[in-house]
Structure 1
Amino acid sequence: MQENSPSGVIYQLKDVAKTRSSNGYSFGLRVPSLRIQRGEKIALIGESGCGKSTLLDMLAFILQPSDIGNFSFHADSNTEVDIGLAWRKHRRNRLAALRKAHMGYVMQTGGLLPYLNIYDNINLSRQMLGMKDDGTVETLARELGLTRHLKKLPDALSTGERQRVAIGRALAHRPAI
């Protein structure tokens, strides 16, 4: 961990950018500075197309920034990971492991596996981490109004119900983020 890095910081970004070009159109998102404290709740607001999802995808280590001045992630108070270095060295497995262990992420499209029933889709993050069945899936299903759907496949649910399943999966392993 860096000496000057407060233990409460989970994300530290400086001069991080993502640019895209397609069919003559270009998009650019620049983050001059962003520091997110552990436990802090933030809201990203802005018009459609301004870069909210792009920033979230970068914070979830799904989307590689085009330019990185400094991008560090503090998995816990004793561990700092240089995300920029991980991207430069093509350590995608390391980034995926961090995401799996510390994050619950709901993609805009939901990202459910169509061949798994609702119970197994919610339980997927727990199963990948080797967590035991402790009733978490059933509790989340009850809180999200999904109990009667647990044995169904995703295509039998409405769009809103599928989104709630994705939220349940993101929360099932009790991630820090």
Structure 2
Amino acid sequence: MILSLSDVTKSYRSAEGPIAVLKSVTLGLAQGESLALTGESGSGKSTLLHLAGGLDRPDSGSILVNGRDITALDDTGRASFRRTDVGVIFQQFNLIPSLDVADNISFHARLAGRFDAAWEAELVNELGIGQLLKRYPEQLSGGQQQRVAIGRTLAAKPPLVLADEPTGNLDEATADIVLDIMLRLTKSAKIALLLVTHSNRLADKLDRRITLSGGKVVP
């Protein structure tokens, strides 16, 4: 099991008192498996992704990634974990403006000490961005930027990829193409994928789906 959450709870403070966002959430994600996380706005989807990515800590419960309990890590340990064990793809592409496409793709892999020229070449080919390698982010369309962002995340071959509405800024046809490519690449590299989406159409493309409502997993 690459990702395992057990009885995870999380609340945030407000002027009216603590607001419970996640309530005893339990889920698992195996190597190479894709899981869609759906639910209405405010149901806790993004909070769950932040916890799984080591960007925040739960109030209680355990989160294991690749067999390691990340809730027990200090700030240095969590920074190392985010560099080597998890990749994140956002709705906003977050490419580095001063780097061309080739350097954007290899950036995280080099940072993690996992640069693999053959794997990067395969990613470039599968993503159809071979003609874009010398361009800069501002010279790309939204669909092209998201393909580069996917390539950058997968280049380091993290055991787990978290994607928060990664096709939210794309038209429907482009979203389908980009997600299909992402699913094919993560499956071939045996990378576990947890994807947040509001789209039932996109969720149905993944191996499994779960729904959050009021901070709880519902049938």
- Shorter-chain TM range is 0.7 to 0.9
In the TM superposition, what whole-angstrom CA distance separates every residue of 1:69-92 from its partner, at most 9, and x where no partner exists?
Answer: 12231434xxx32x3333xxxx22
Cα contact 2:6–2:26 (8 A) shared by 1: yes
Distance 1:31 1:121, change over 3 A: farther
CA RMSD of aligned residues (A): 2.4
Cα drift, residue 164 of structure 1: 1.2
Instruction: Give the match's secondary structure for 2:104.
Output: helix
Cα contact 1:119–1:137 (8 A) shared by 2: no
Cα contact 1:13–1:31 (8 A) shared by 2: no
Superposition TM-score, scaled by structure 1 size: 0.76
Q: Does 1:44 align with 2:37?
A: yes
Q: Does 1:172 align with 2:163?
A: no
> Which protein is bigger by CA-based radius of gyration?
1
Instruction: Give the match's secondary structure for 1:138.
Output: helix
Cα contact 1:9–1:35 (8 A) shared by 2: no
In the TM superposition, what whole-angstrom CA distance separates every residue of 1:86-128 from its partner, at most 9, and x where no partner exists?
Answer: 3xxxx22211211221212112212211111111111112111
Superposition TM-score, scaled by structure 2 size: 0.63
Cα contact 2:83–2:108 (8 A) shared by 1: yes
Q: 1:98 aligns with which of 74, 81, 90?
A: 81
Structure 1: 4+ residue segments shifted above 4 A: none
Correspondence for 2:66: 75
Question: Hey, what's the Cα distance between the residues in 2 that align with 1:50 and 1:35?
Answer: 16
Question: Hey, what's the Cα distance between the residues in 1 that align with 2:8 and 2:156?
Answer: 32
Q: Which consecutive residues of structure 1, in runs of 5 or more, have no partner in the other structure?
A: 1-7
Q: Read off the aligned partner of 2:139 and give its amino acid letter.
A: A
Instruction: Give the match's secondary structure for 1:47.
Output: coil
Question: Hey, what's the Cα distance between the residues in 1 that align with 2:27 and 2:154?
Answer: 23
The count of residues paired between Structure 1 and Structure 2 equals 158
Distance 1:74 1:131, change over 3 A: closer
Q: Does 1:118 align with 2:101?
A: yes
Cα drift, residue 28 of structure 1: 4.2
Q: Does 1:19 align with 2:3?
A: no
Question: Hey, what's the Cα distance between the residues in 1 that align with 2:85 and 2:8?
Answer: 24
Cα contact 1:11–1:72 (8 A) shared by 2: yes
Percentage identity across aligned positions? 32
Question: Hey, what's the Cα distance between the residues in 2 that align with 1:31 and 1:43?
Answer: 19
Correspondence for 1:154: 137
Cα drift, residue 132 of structure 1: 4.3
Distance 1:35 1:156, change over 3 A: same
Correspondence for 1:5: none
Q: Read off the aligned partner of 2:107 and give its amino acid letter.
A: L
